[in-house]
Amino acid sequence: EADIYQTPRYLVIGTGKKITLECSQTMGHDKMYWYQQDPGMELHLIHYSYGVNSTEKGDLSSESTVSRIRTEHFPLTLESARPSHTSQYLCASSELWGTADNEQFFGPGTRLTVL
């Protein structure tokens, strides 16, 4: 069982609200990721981080922002939520250095619905 946690698991909010999705891992992993998973199952990388004070944009453009002040914590923020942000958000982590085959450990996800 991976030690990576996401809160909340489910969130229903109104348009225009600011929200923060929390992600924490206790494995000491340097690299962390945020994926957006659409109803068709596909995983889209939206943000990643190599370590503290590092944030990078992923393959899919996103209006969300992330921060990495502590190794174990990688929150994602939407300043003004819209219905188009409705999706499943998955956080993951992996070791940074070493071989290329670094397993990614995923959290259980946050299902966000914006009304």
Query: Which residues make up the interface to another protein (CB under 8 A)?
Result: 2, 4, 31, 40-43, 45, 48, 50, 56, 90-92, 96-97, 100-104, 106-109
Strands lying side by side in the sheet with 65-66: 4-7, 19-25, 76-78, 65-66
Least Å distance, CB 37 to another protein, is 9
For residue 98, give every residue at least 6 positions away whose Cβ sits within 8 Å of its Cβ, in sequence order, or none.
Answer: none
Shortest gap between Cβ of 80 and another protein (angstroms)? 27
Between 17 and 60, name the residue whose CB sits nearer to another protein.
Answer: 60
Measured from the CB atom, the residue of 15 and 54 that comes closer to another protein is 54
CA distances from 88 to 42, 95, 99 (A): 11, 24, 30
